[in-house]
Chains A and B, each alone.
Chain A
């Protein structure tokens, strides 16, 4: 069965610093991978998705993620954190052909210090 593991339930960075949120997946077949962001008291919003095209995927708000099959990873990065990036981030996987059943990680809460 497919699954995702997000390392670190809470990450804190300074404004302007690199953001790195880790996600590893488990899947016996080629996966589709997603990063969602949840701001306080809101629903989830798609940041970016990997669907077997380019391994480096660019998303909204300056975020990007790289699919590394050899490491079964899909880490999310942003070169310079803004205060507005403070939110919870979820990695999710769908095994191709599973009719859209998203499996979410536990989430990583990102704090940005001034």
Chain B
């Protein structure tokens, strides 16, 4: 089992550029979560999907952020245009189903630096 796969692991970009983060959930999992982690705000849920459908995107900070899940094995989080305050570690997690007590498996994260 490869676990949740995220790419790239590190991304350095300049303000105003478009950034795309990618996630491959664990095969068979039908819930996918995007989180952001910063020193100031800790871990924040940005958006989550059940069966490829976005259920709650209330954590997405601004319209500059968008997420898609075109199929069960792939999701993207896009920031356009990026700003320095978007610098953070972005985690993707997946779960077998959106039951309250099912374990979420986290990927290794993408460390984003916006200059």
Which residue numbers of A lie inside 8 Å of B, CB to CB?
32, 36, 41-46, 49, 51, 90, 94-107
Cα A55 to Cα B31 in complex, Å, equals: 28
Contact B45 A101 (CB under 8 A): yes
Cα A44 to Cα B109 in complex, Å, equals: 9
Q: Which residues of B contact A103 (CB under 8 A)?
A: 45
Chain A interface, >50% SS class: loop
Contact B56 A101 (CB under 8 A): yes
CB A61 to nearest CB in B, in angstroms, measures 16
Q: Which residues of A contact B91 (CB under 8 A)?
A: 43-44
CB of B71 within 8 Å of the partner chain: no
CB of B108 within 8 Å of the partner chain: yes
The digit string for B86-115, where 1 denotes a CB below 8 A from any CB of A, is 000001010100111111101111000000
Contact A46 B107 (CB under 8 A): no
Nearest residue (CB) in A for B9 is A41
A99 touches which of B42, B100, B107 (Cβ 8 Å) = B100
CB of B4 within 8 Å of the partner chain: yes
8 smallest CB-CB distances across A and B, nearest first, come from A43-B106, A51-B101, A104-B43, A100-B98, A44-B106, A99-B98, A106-B42, A32-B101
Q: Which residues of B contact A45 (CB under 8 A)?
A: 106
Contact B45 A102 (CB under 8 A): yes
